[in-house]
Amino acid sequence: MSAITVGIALVPHPATLELLGGAIHELAQHWSLTPETLWRVEESGALVPNGFHAQFRRWHEARPRRCVAHGVGFSVGSPTREAARRAAWIERLRDDARVFGFEWITDHLGASRLGGRELTLPLPLLMTDASAAVVRTSLDELRAVAPDVGVENSVFYFHLGDPRDEGAFLRACLRERRSHLLLDVHNVYTTALNAGIDARELFDTLPLERVIEIHLSGGVDSDPRWLPGGATRRLDSHDDAVPEPVWELYERALRGCDNLRAVTLERMEQTVEDEADARTVEDELRRARRMLELVRG
Ligand SMILES: [Fe+2]
């Protein structure tokens, strides 16, 4: 098995890519690509590579690097499959996998498309056997592109049930061989804060033996003007430094995830505004690697 690598998610935003040049080209040992940000949709509905696809392809060809695919738009939990849309998606992904050599493909748990409409964020699923079967069928479709596939534990701002039951639901979704969990530790922290439960308690319910990749990121609290009485929610906004409680969960994950293969830092485009922000991202990559070496040797 390859060594565990620490890498970064590439975002489709020229100024951010420029500022993060050192992190992307020197520090990152792998890149996580969001395939659908590398495509545009033609009038006919065909998906074709866009300018970011060409740019990342040039980088990869000049200095090949481990690549993984992580999307949000395939919508693993949609009960209606929209066969033509999925076939086009898989065909495009297959082509991208040839270019970038994706070692695995993940998407978010939830439904990011319902009734033929795109949703901005994945919605939670009913945590039932029927929903788990839908997710497993979707993962089998992705498996036509790469043998290792999986889902990320998403942040939901409401749950259809108790968030502490999500671990068991994920186990049901991922029960097939080579089905993996992408463990986003900031998402665990955010869900726990918003639900008023202990993040370590929530963390310990998850199928850690299934974790192939860890995501590290930061976020902020919502604007108090949004909700009645000035209430706030922690947002999974990827727009700030990784907070200390997330580093603590990261260490817990490094100790508990025996099948881990990669750690990816996520930072949203347009939230790296100057050299100081870029240094923060570089320091986070170094810290993630240092902790990995300390814990895993
Ligand atoms: Fe994530």
Convert the pLDDT of each residue in 37-72 to its tens digit. 999 999 888 899 999 999 999 999 999 999 999 999
Greater pLDDT, 1 or 188: 188
Mean pLDDT of the chain: 94
Find the domain containing 49 and state its range: 5-296
Residue 39 Cα to ligand 1 midpoint, Å, equals 20
Convert the pLDDT of each residue in 181-210 to its tens digit. 999 999 999 999 999 999 999 999 999 999
Provide the CATH number for the domain around residue 188: 3.20.20.150
Residue 264 Cα to ligand 1 midpoint, Å, equals 8
Residue 130 Cα to ligand 1 midpoint, Å, equals 25
Greater pLDDT, 2 or 198: 198
Residue 259 Cα to ligand 1 midpoint, Å, equals 18
Query: What per-residue confidence (pLDDT) applies to 1?
Result: 44
Query: What per-residue confidence (pLDDT) applies to 159?
Result: 85
Number of domains the chain contains: 1
Query: What per-residue confidence (pLDDT) applies to 2?
Result: 56
For residue 294 the two structure tokens come to 């300390």
Mean pLDDT value across residues 5-16: 96
Residues with CB under 5 A from ligand 1 (ion): 184, 215
Q: Report which DSSP code applies to 39.
A: E
Residue 37 Cα to ligand 1 midpoint, Å, equals 15
Residue 62 Cα to ligand 1 midpoint, Å, equals 27
Residue 33 Cα to ligand 1 midpoint, Å, equals 12
Query: What per-residue confidence (pLDDT) applies to 30?
Result: 98
